[in-house]
Structure 1
């Protein structure tokens, strides 16, 4: 699947799976998340993964997007099916704690990923992609807390 219709990407995650991912994120790390934030979070994660599947460039999620990715990747069969639907390349979750220690590098990686989302036709939600040091972001506004990224094809 090439990214031509962004709404189709969102539809690849069933309502039941979406609800379970949201529940996991709430229980594990973000209990005060609203229903609107939850819906947008799943969509931002799906957009991130669609971009990661279609580029040779390293893609790095924001902290909030990574929370959803962590919950999704634990559902191994639907996650693998989602990756297949995006073009067949399994999108590995690659933590890199060394990158997480460099805030400037993390911000640059996250900013570039948000640009890739925009270029692919997605709308990066500023609450989930705080590329301009948004005051309302959670935790450290650098990137994923563990320096997570995808595994680009070389």
Structure 2
């Protein structure tokens, strides 16, 4: 089920930011690397990853954080560096660095606050939210490869 929180007028499907060819390429990679994820879900993950990145670019400094599934999408996309760099430049106007948190480190306010900030930013940016891809914060700290979580780089990748 697709829902939008505080849906602004003109809410957009974030898949439109990616394009069908890139979505298919990235989705196929997710399914290959994560056989527990079906192709339809992988496409939804890519769309939500695009929404997360676009919202983060619109709201620098908010310390947004992806869900476990969206982080899989982000990691997959980063492996396709040319596609990722083009998307960043065209959609956000800058390269968005992926900055894993250190072991034991949490994003500002903890996982629940990060989840709420992230969903509010995505909805505020005008994108639909696939609620089942953004589970409660208790599960957000189970980031697939970053241990404690990941965040976007509002300061261009420079350490604070």
Q: TM-score range by the shorter chain?
A: 0.7 to 0.9
Specify every segment of 5 or more residues in structure 1 that has no aligned partner in the other structure, as ranges: 134-139
Distance 1:54 1:151 in 2: 12
Match of 1:81 in 2: 86
Equivalences for residues 26-105 of structure 1 within 5 A: 26-29=31-34, 31-56=35-60, 57-98=62-103, 105=110
Distance 1:119 1:125 in 2: 14
Distance 2:32 2:77 in 1: 14
Q: How many residues align?
A: 142
Distance 2:27 2:72 in 1: 10
- Residue 150 of structure 1 is aligned with which of 149, 152, 158? 152
Match of 1:137 in 2: none
- Residue 107 of structure 1 is aligned with which of 100, 108, 112? 112
TM-score (norm 1): 0.78
Distance 2:90 2:27 in 1: 21
Q: Is the 8 A contact 2:49 2:71 kept in 1?
A: yes
Distance 1:14 1:123 in 2: 16
| CA displacement, residues 18-72 of structure 1 (integer Å, 9 cap, x when unaligned) | 122112212223x132333122111111100110111122211000000011010
Q: Is the 8 A contact 2:11 2:127 kept in 1?
A: no
Distance 1:92 1:101, change over 3 A: closer
TM-score (norm 2): 0.75
Q: Is the 8 A contact 2:11 2:128 kept in 1?
A: no
Post-superposition shift, 1:110?
Answer: 1.9
CA RMSD of aligned residues (A): 2.5
Specify every segment of 5 or more residues in structure 2 that has no aligned partner in the other structure, as ranges: 1-9
Q: Is the 8 A contact 2:56 2:121 kept in 1?
A: no
- Residue 29 of structure 2 is aligned with which of 4, 24, 30? 24
